[in-house]
Structure 1
Amino acid sequence: MACCADHRTRAPHAAVCLLVIFIVPPVWSVHMSWENWRSALRNGGDEFEPPTSQPHIVFILVDDQGFRDVGYHGSEIKTPNLDRLAAQGVKLENYYVQPLCSPSRSQLMTGR
């Protein structure tokens, strides 16, 4: 009997989990898409204009550089340009790379 009672209490919980995981996100996505489309119609389509300028992205790939090899991390090595970029932009502080450069390079080139 304990097995059957346990099964009956888990079944509603599993159904709720499945509902939340598989039904709610697609329904919410369709709802938000519909609202965006209706908003664009109300505003005459002005809401979806392309940006006037492209973003400025600088991607710096360095091989065999340690965490403390730049000035803004307290290194003795002077890196004024990187320090200025770090002060005015975004710093990547939590990351992972492979011990060899080949996997990281192939991931960068292929996007996988």
Structure 2
Amino acid sequence: MPVSIVTIALLAASNVFMTFAWYGHLRFKGASLALVILVSWGIAFFEYCLQVPANRWGSAVFSAAQLKTIQEVLTLSVFAVFSVTYLREPFTWNYLVGFAFIAMGAFFIFHKW
């Protein structure tokens, strides 16, 4: 499998873990802060187990700026699905416009001038 595909797949999977680590506790506001910090750290461990190799291997085919751009686009994509399905928050038109601007930024990062 090409390194670029492996990198993107690992970064996508790592984003799922990190999104749950950062925002999953919002559905459990009754839980103590210490508990949700510890649980979030535990979840984030698995995120790092995917993210670090993704960036290490991905650096063979992508620049650091491109890796970061892939990460941010995936982060927003995963978060959009997460916020609608898990947190049950609406996805409004202004989110879509903001994501479109970020996608344009990604275009400029990857475009060869």
**Range class of TM-score, shorter chain:** under 0.3
Relative to its length, the structure with more helix (as a share) is: 2
- Structure label with greater radius of gyration: 1
Q: Relative contact order, CA 8 A, sep 6+: which one is greater?
A: 2
* TM-score, length basis structure 1: 0.25
State TM-score, norm by structure 2: 0.25
